[in-house]
Structure 1
Amino acid sequence: MLDSRLPLALDGGGLEWPAEGTIAVFNPAPEADLDGVPQDRSEIIHDLYPAHASWAARGYAVAVEGEGRYAAALVCLPRAKQQARAMIAQACAQSAGVVVIDGQKTDGIEGILKSMRARVDVHGPVTKAHGKLFWIEAPAADYFADWAAGPELGEGGFWTAPGVFSADGVDLASALLVDALPEKLGKHVGDLGAGWGFLSAHVLTREGVEAVHLVEAGHMAIECARRNVTDPRAVFHWDDATTWDPAHKLDTIVMNPPFHVGRAAEPQIGQAFVAAAARLLAPQGHLWMVANRHLPYEDELKTRFAQVAEVGGDARFKLFHAQRPLRKRR
C-alpha cells in the first residue's frame, strides 16, 4: 500500500519533495492516505468521477487532466499497462522535479520498474505490502514520449483509449445485448456505464428514440464516446451511474455493468447498477442487461422489478429483460 511505502521513502529512504511548488498526484485510490504529500501543495489528477468527487470532498484540489508544469509528481499505477505507461509519460512531461511511481505487484509494478531501469537511473525501490515505490529525477519532457497514448481509431471504426473498458475492440457481451434489443425502446433511453458508446450507437438506430443518455464514470471513456456517437440526440454525462439523477424518468435502460475495480469480482457493483436502473425508470419502464453468467444478479433484479426474465445468452454471458420497477423493497 502507498501509505506504508511512501513514509519509508521520505523518512530516511532518500526521497525528498521540493520545498516549493505543486505536487501532482496521478490516480490515487479514493481511500489512499496521502499524509506524505502536503495537502496544501497537492493536486489530485483523476479520470474516474467517483474518485474525483471523493478527493474534492476531502478538501483536495482536483483536476481531470494536469495542466502546466508541476514541482514534482506521484503516479499510482493503474492496472492497464498502456494506461500506466501513458500516465508516467504525462507525469515526466509535466514535472520539473522528482517523479515517484508506486504500485502493487498485481498492477505490474515489476515490469514498469524493469522497463524504466533500462532507460533512466532509478532510486529506491522501497518494497513493502506486496508492492514497490521508486522514483526518478525528471528527465527531458519528451524522454518517455513513446509511452504517451490517447484516443485512437480502432476496430470497427470506433475511438478507444488505454484504460477504457474494451479498448481493444467490441466487447462480446455488449454485442450479444445489441442483438437482443427490440426494435422499439421508447423515447428516452439511458445507457449506464456507457463506456466508449457501443451500446448507445446501436440504440440510436431504433425507431422512435428521441434521446439517449450516456452515463459513464471514466472521463477518457466519455470523451471517446463523444467521438463515436455524434448523433445530436446523444446526451453525455460524466457521472457515477449509481447516483446519477436525471430530470425525467426513462423509458428504457440498457447496460453492461462493470463488476470489478481490482482483479477480484465484486458483484455488488452490478447490483448497485440494477438498483439505480429501477430508480431511474418510469413505472412501465424496461431494463435490458447483460452480465457474466457466474455473477449473482437474479435476486437483486427480482427485488427491484415486478417482472424478470432471462432472455438468452451463451456459455459465458446471460441476458436479462426486467420490467416495471418496484419503488419499495419487498
Structure 2
Amino acid sequence: MLSTTSQVLVRNKELFETGKWLFVNPPEADIFSALSNADIYGFHQFFDVYQQCPNNQKHVFEAHYPIEQSEGKLFDGAVIYMPKSKEHASLLIANMAACVKPNSNIFLVGENKSGIKSADKLFANVSQRINKIDSARHCSLYCALLENTATFDIKSFIKYEDIQVSKTTCKIAFMPGIFSAGALDPATQLLIENLPEQLTGNVLDFASGSGVIGCFAAKNNPGINLTLCDVSAVATYCSQLSLSANNLQGKVLASNGLAEIKQKFDTVLTNPPFHTGIKTDYSVTDQFIKQVKFALGPKGILMLVANRFLPYPDIIKGSLNSVSTLAQTSKFSLYRAQK
C-alpha cells in the first residue's frame, strides 16, 4: 500500500503526466508504477528503497544528486518527500534547484507533522512563488516555481567537528540528514567511553551514521580491519569523509540491515536506529539483533547501546549468550553479548 504522501501525489497525478521528472526519497518504490508517466526518475538516499526499484538505470543512490548527470538534460520538475529535518529539506531543495530547467516546478510533499508547513521558508533561497496545491490524508503538497536554475555545491553543507572522548580526538564530518548532526550524542559517547582497551581482528560499526564510533575504534586500535555500514547514502558519505579526515582505513558499505555484510566479525559496535523517517520504528534493530549472530565469528562480541526502556536484553538473549550490562546512565544502557 502506498504511503499517505504518495497517495496525495497520485491524487494530483495530472501534474506529473508529461515531461521528465525526478522523485526524491520516496518511501516506497511503488510510486513509480502508480503514475502513468514512464519518464519519472528516482533519486534515493536510502538503500532499501533503491534496491526495490526495478530499473536502476533510472535510479540513483547517492548522498546528493550528481549534477554532471543532468547537464544538457535537466529535469522538467522535481518532487521531494519531506525528510525528518528542515536542514535536510534545505539541502535537497538546493540540490534539486540545480537539476531542473528554468521556469520549472519543485514540489514538496509531507505529513503535516513533519515540518512541511514551513515550506515558504524552506524554498525562500530559490523561489518567491510558492503555493499550497493540496491537503489530504493529514499531508500537504506545496509547489515552488524556479525561474532560474541554481548552482549547488555539496561542500557547503558539510561541517567538520573535533570530537573528544577521554584523551582521543577525532575529526568527524556531519551533514543534514545525519543522526545527531554536529555533536556527539550521549548514547554514542557511552559506548565509546567503554570500548575495550584492545580491539583486534574484524570490527563492524553498524548503522555508522557519521562514522564516529568506527573512527574512535580505529584511532585507538590502528591494527583492526574496520567496516562501516548504513542504509543512508548521507551516512556512508560522511563515514568515508570522517575516515579520510583522520587518515584512517576502512571499508564503507551501503546495506539494508546486514544484508550486504558477507564476512565474519570479531566485534560489532552499534548505536542502532529506532526511527524510519519521522516515525518510531524498532523493527530494524530487532531484525539486526536476530541476525547479528550470523555476522559474528566464533566468540564474537556485540556491544550495543540503547535507551534503557527498550527491551533489547531479552531480544539479545534469544540470539546470543552471556548478555551483560557494561554501563548505564539515567537514559541509556550499554550491553555486551558474546556468541
- Shared fold per TM-score greater than 0.5: yes
Asked whether the equivalents of residues 83 and 277 of structure 2 are also in contact (C-alpha less than 8 Å), the reply is no
| TM-score computed with the length of structure 1 as normaliser | 0.87
Deviation at 1:208, TM superposition (A): 7.0
Q: 1:305 aligns with which of 317, 320, 326?
A: 320
* Correspondence 1:181-330 to 2 at 5 A: 181-207=195-221, 209-230=223-244, 231=247, 233-246=249-262, 248-324=263-339
Asked whether the equivalents of residues 47 and 220 of structure 1 are also in contact (C-alpha less than 8 Å), the reply is yes
Indicate the SS of the match to 1:159. strand
Q: 1:4 to 1:237 in 2, by over 3 A?
A: closer
> For residues 262 and 192 of structure 1, what CA distance do their matches in structure 2 show?
18
Q: Please give the per-residue CA displacement for 1:291-318, whole angstroms capped at 9, x wherever unaligned.
A: 1111111111001112110111101100
Q: Please give the per-residue CA displacement for 1:99-122, whole angstroms capped at 9, x wherever unaligned.
A: 221111122110114554795223
* Correspondence 1:23-62 to 2 at 5 A: 23-30=21-28, 33-34=31-32, 37-38=35-36, 40-55=38-53, 57=54, 61-62=58-59
| TM-score computed with the length of structure 2 as normaliser | 0.85
Q: 2:146 aligns with which of 134, 138, 142?
A: 138
Indicate the SS of the match to 1:299. helix
> For residues 183 and 117 of structure 1, what CA distance do their matches in structure 2 show?
50
Structure 2 residue runs of 5 or longer lacking an equivalent are 164-170
Indicate the SS of the match to 1:190. strand
* Correspondence 1:69-148 to 2 at 5 A: 69-96=74-101, 97-113=104-120, 116=123, 119-142=127-150
Structure 1 residue runs of 5 or longer lacking an equivalent are 325-330
> For residues 30 and 140 of structure 2, what CA distance do their matches in structure 1 show?
15
> For residues 148 and 98 of structure 1, what CA distance do their matches in structure 2 show?
25
CA RMSD of aligned residues (A): 2.6
Are 1:5 and 2:4 matched, yes or no? no
Query: Would you tell me which structure has more strand in proportion to its own residues?
Result: 2
Q: 1:114 to 1:131 in 2, by over 3 A?
A: farther
Give aligned pairs, total: 316
Deviation at 1:155, TM superposition (A): 4.8
Asked whether the equivalents of residues 203 and 266 of structure 2 are also in contact (C-alpha less than 8 Å), the reply is yes
Deviating more after overlay: 252-261 vs 180-189? 180-189
> For residues 58 and 153 of structure 2, what CA distance do their matches in structure 1 show?
29
Deviation at 1:265, TM superposition (A): 2.9
Q: Tell me which residue corresponds to 2:191.
A: 177
Deviation at 1:168, TM superposition (A): 2.2
Deviation at 1:245, TM superposition (A): 2.5
Deviation at 1:149, TM superposition (A): 5.1
> For residues 114 and 183 of structure 1, what CA distance do their matches in structure 2 show?
48
- Give the fraction of aligned pairs with identical amino acids, expressed as a percent: 21
Q: Tell me which residue corresponds to 1:152.
A: 159
Deviation at 1:205, TM superposition (A): 3.3
Asked whether the equivalents of residues 243 and 276 of structure 1 are also in contact (C-alpha less than 8 Å), the reply is no
Q: Tell me which residue corresponds to 1:327.
A: none
Q: Please give the per-residue CA displacement for 1:248-272, whole angstroms capped at 9, x wherever unaligned.
A: 3111111110011144432222122
Asked whether the equivalents of residues 290 and 319 of structure 2 are also in contact (C-alpha less than 8 Å), the reply is yes
Indicate the SS of the match to 1:304. coil
> For residues 207 and 3 of structure 1, what CA distance do their matches in structure 2 show?
46
Q: 1:131 to 1:117 in 2, by over 3 A?
A: farther
Indicate the SS of the match to 2:318. helix
